[in-house]
C-alpha cells in the first residue's frame, strides 16, 4: 500500500495552540512514514519550527492575531476570529498549492479551523476533520447547537448503557451549557457541526477502549467514517514541538526524588489562573509536604513582580522539596519514576499522556472539553480526583488523598491498570495500525 501512496499529497491545516500543534505534527509524521507527501499550512502566530521537519513543506497564512488574544478569556471568540481572519488567506493558499502540485489527495484540518470545509468543498477537494479532543468532545460539539433543547440532550444520553457515562454526559453537558454560551460560542458550535456534516472523514486522537460506548453513540449521529488513531504521542514520539523552551533541569531534580513521591502541576498552554488561585496553589503545595514540580508559564503572568515574589517566597520556604519551571518536558516528566500524581487542567493531550504513564490525576478543569475530560477521569475511568474547592486546605488534603492516603489506593491502582491496557493496545497488531491503514486507504481513494 505504501508504494501506491508515494504520489499522494496531504495538506494539513493546523491552529495555533500547543496541544493542537503537537497532534497535527505527530499525525503528519505518521502519514509521511506511510508514503504521503505533506504540506503543513499554519498560522503566523506560534509557527512551528520547519527545520525540525525537513521532509515537509511549510506554508504560513496571515492570521491578524496578537499574542494577547491567546488567553483563555474568550476561546470561542478567538476561534471565531481565527476562522474569520484566515478563511480568505487559506483559500488563496490552497489554490496556489493546487496550481503548483496539481493534486491534493485530502485536506486534513484541525476541528477548530472549520472554515476549511466550505473552502475545500468549493475547490472540489475532500476535507478530513482532525479532532485533538476526545470522541466525547466530538459528541458534545455535534449536539452543541441544539443544547438548549433538553430533548436533544436526553436523546443523546438515552442510548448509553453505563450509568457512569450517562451521569458524566449529563454533568458535562450541564456544566458546559451553564457556562452560558456566548454568541461567539453558539456561532462556533454551529459552524463546527456544519463542517462535520460535509467532512469526508473524522480523525480522533484517542484509544478505542477508552471511549467504546461514546463511539458507538456517535456512529448513530454521524454516518461519516471515524478513524481513532491515538495515542499519537506514543506513535510519533521522537519530536519536540514545544513553543516554549523546555527546562530540562527538572529531570535532574526528579532523579533525586523518591519513587512516586512528586506531584507534577501544569495547566497546559492556554489557561490562566488568577492571583488568589495562584496563592492558594502555592500554599496548598507547600502545606501538602509532598515534593512538587510546578509549571508556571510566563503567559500565566510570570514575570510580573508580584508573581515572581510569590514564587521566590515559595521556593525559599519549601527549599529542595519544590521545583518551579516555565515549561517542562512533560512527556518525560510523566514517564519519570518519581512522579506519582498530576494536577492538571485536563486538556486532552495531558489526559492521554497521563493515562499512558499510569499517573493518577488531580483535576482542575477550566473550560470547554476540559470539563468533559475531568468527568471521564473521575467518574468513568476513576483514575483521579476533582478539585472542586480551590481553598488551600482542601488542596492540601486532596493532594494527600491522591498521593499517599489509603483512600487513594484504588485510584492509583486503576491508573496503573489503564496504563497496562494502553500499552497492550499499542502492542497489539490491531486497532491503531488498522485505523491508520484505513485512513491511508480512505485518503487515497476519496
Ligand atoms: C488545548 C485546550 O486547552 C484543551 O482543552 C484541548 O483539549 C486541547 O487544546 P492545552 O491547554 O495546550 O490544549 O492542553 P493539552 O491538550 O493538555 O496540551 C498541552 C501540551 O503541551 C501537552 O502535549 C503537554 O505535554 C505539553 N506541555 C505542557 C509541555 O510539553 N510542557 C509543559 O510544561 C506543559
For residue 231, cis peptide bond before it (omega within 30 degrees of 0):
yes
Residue minimizing CA distance to atom 3 of ligand 1: 347
Summarised one tens digit per residue, pLDDT across range 183-216 is 887 788 888 888 988 899 999 999 999 999 888 8
Q: What is the number of residues in the chain?
A: 446
CB 266 within 8 A of CB 334: no
Q: What is the pLDDT of residue 4?
A: 46
Q: What is the pLDDT of residue 236?
A: 85
Residue with the three cell numbers 529531570: 251
Q: How confident is the model at residue 7 (pLDDT cuts 50, 70, 90)?
A: low
Distance 369 CA to ligand 1 centre (A): 12
Mutate which of 135, 246, 268, 377 for ligand 1? The one with the most ligand atoms within 8 Å of its CB, which is: 268
Nearest to 395 by CA among 275, 313, 282, 259: 282
CB 71 within 8 A of CB 177: no
Q: What is the pLDDT of residue 285?
A: 95
Q: How confident is the model at residue 381 (pLDDT cuts 50, 70, 90)?
A: very high
Q: What is the pLDDT of residue 49?
A: 85
Q: What is the pLDDT of residue 123?
A: 96
Nearest to 124 by CA among 198, 58, 197: 198
Q: What is the pLDDT of residue 1?
A: 46
Mutate which of 176, 251, 349 for ligand 1? The one with the most ligand atoms within 8 Å of its CB, which is: 349
User: Is a pLDDT exceeding 80 seen at residue 432?
Assistant: no
Nearest to 115 by CA among 134, 87, 75, 93: 87
Q: What is the pLDDT of residue 407?
A: 86
Q: Which carries the bigger pLDDT value, residue 355 or residue 429?
A: 355
Identical fold, 9-239+428-444 and 248-404: yes
Q: By mean pLDDT, which of 23-32, 152-161, 239-248 is the weakest?
A: 152-161
Summarised one tens digit per residue, pLDDT across range 270-325 is 888 888 889 999 999 999 999 999 999 987 777 788 888 888 889 988 999 999 99
Summarised one tens digit per residue, pLDDT across range 54-102 is 999 999 999 888 777 766 567 888 899 999 999 999 999 999 999 887 7
Q: Which carries the bigger pLDDT value, residue 151 or residue 218?
A: 218
Tally the C-alpha atoms within 13 A of residue 262's C-alpha that lie toward its C-beta.
27
Distance 347 CA to ligand 1 centre (A): 6
- Say yes or no: CB of residue 22 within 6 Å of ligand 1: yes
User: Is a pLDDT exceeding 60 seen at residue 147?
Assistant: no
Looking from the CA of residue 349, the nearest atom of ligand 1 is 16
Q: What is the pLDDT of residue 2?
A: 47
What predicted TM-score, i.e. pTM, was given to this entire model?
0.92
Which superfamily is assigned to 9-239+428-444 in CATH?
Glycogen Phosphorylase B; (3.40.50.2000)
Summarised one tens digit per residue, pLDDT across range 209-218 is 999 988 888 8
Distance 19 CA to ligand 1 centre (A): 4
- Say yes or no: CB of residue 384 within 6 Å of ligand 1: no
- Say yes or no: CB of residue 272 within 6 Å of ligand 1: no
Distance 241 CA to ligand 1 centre (A): 11
Residues forming beta bridges with residue 294, ordered by sequence position: 265, 324
Q: By mean pLDDT, which of 87-96, 169-178, 255-264, 337-346 is the weakest?
A: 169-178
Q: What is the pLDDT of residue 23?
A: 92
Architecture of the CATH domain 248-404:
3-Layer(aba) Sandwich (3.40)
The C-alpha torsion from 224 through 8 and 205 to 356, rounded to 10°, is 150
Q: What is the pLDDT of residue 165?
A: 64
Residues forming beta bridges with residue 226, ordered by sequence position: 202
Q: Where are the domains of the chain?
A: 9-239+428-444, 248-404
Looking from the CA of residue 22, the nearest atom of ligand 1 is 23
Amino acid at each position: 500500500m505504501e508504494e501506491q501512496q508515494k504520489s499522494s499529497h496531504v495538506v494539513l491545516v493546523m491552529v495555533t495552540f500547543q496541544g493542537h500543534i503537537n497532534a497535527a505534527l505527530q499525525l503528519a509524521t505518521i502519514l509521511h512514514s506511510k508514503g504521503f507527501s505533506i504540506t503543513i499550512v499554519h498560522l503566523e502566530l506560534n509557527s512551528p519550527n520547519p527545520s525540525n521537519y525537513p521532509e515537509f513543506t511549510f506554508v504560513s497564512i496571515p492570521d491578524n492575531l496578537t499574542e494577547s488574544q491567546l488567553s483563555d478569556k474568550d476561546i470561542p471568540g478567538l476561534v471565531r476570529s481565527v476562522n474569520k481572519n484566515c478563511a480568505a488567506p487559506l483559500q488563496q493558499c490552497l489554490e496556489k498549492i493546487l496550481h503548483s502540485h496539481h493534486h491534493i489527495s485530502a485536506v486534513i484540518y484541525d476541528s477548530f479551523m472549520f472554515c476549511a470545509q466550505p473552502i475545500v468543498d468549493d475547490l472540489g477537494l475532500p476535507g478530513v476533520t482532525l479532532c485533538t479532543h476526545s470522541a466525547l468532545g466530538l459528541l458534545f460539539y455535534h449536539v452543541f447547537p441544539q443544547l438548549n433543547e433538553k430533548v436533544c440532550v436526553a436523546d443523546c444520553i438515552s442510548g448509553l448503557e453505563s450509568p457512569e457515562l450517562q451521569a458524566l454526559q449529563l454533568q458535562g453537558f450541564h456544566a458546559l451549557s451553564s457556562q452560558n454560551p456566548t454568541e461567539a460560542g453558539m456561532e462556533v458550535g454551529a459552524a463546527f457541526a456544519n463542517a462535520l456534516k460535509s467532512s469526508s472523514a473524522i480523525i480522533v486522537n484517542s484509544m478505542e477502549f477508552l471511549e467504546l460506548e461514546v463511539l458507538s453513540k456517535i456512529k448513530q449521529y454521524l454516518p461519516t467514517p471515524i478513524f481513532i488513531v491515538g495515542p499519537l504521542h506514543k506513535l510519533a514520539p521522537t519530536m519536540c514541538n514545544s513553543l516554549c523552551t523546555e527546562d530540562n533541569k527538572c529531570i535532574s531534580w526528579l532523579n533525586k526524588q523518591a519513587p512516586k513521591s512528586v506531584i507534577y502541576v501544569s495547566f497546559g498552554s492556554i489557561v490562566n489562573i488568577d492571583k488568589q488561585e495562584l496563592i492558594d496553589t502555592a500554599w496548598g503545595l507547600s502545606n501538602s509536604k509532598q515534593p512538587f514540580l510546578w509549571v508556571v508559564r510566563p503567559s500565566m503572568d510570570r514575570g510580573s513582580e508580584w508573581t515572581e515574589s510569590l514564587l521566590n517566597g515559595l521556593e525559599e520556604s519549601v527549599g529542595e522539596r519544590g521545583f518551579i519551571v516555565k515549561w517542562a518536558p512533560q512527556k518525560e516528566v510523566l514517564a519519570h519514576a518519581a512522579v506519582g500524581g498530576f494536577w492538571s487542567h485536563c486538556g486532552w493531550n495531558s489526559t492521554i499522556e497521563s493515562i499512558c504513564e499510569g499517573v493518577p490525576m488531580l483535576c482542575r478543569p477550566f473550560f470547554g472539553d476540559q470539563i468533559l475530560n475531568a468527568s471521564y477521569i473521575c467518574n468513568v475511568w476513576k483514575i483521579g480526583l476533582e478539585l472542586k474547592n480551590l481553598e488551600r486546605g482542601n488542596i492540601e488534603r486532596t493532594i494527600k488523598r491522591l498521593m499517599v492516603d489509603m483512600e487513594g489506593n484504588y485510584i492509583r491502582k486503576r491508573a496503573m491498570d489503564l496504563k497496562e491496557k494502553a500499552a497492550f493496545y499499542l502492542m497489539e497488531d490491531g486497532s491503531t495500525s488498522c485505523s491508520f491503514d484505513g485512513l491511508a486507504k480512505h485518503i487515497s481513494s476519496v
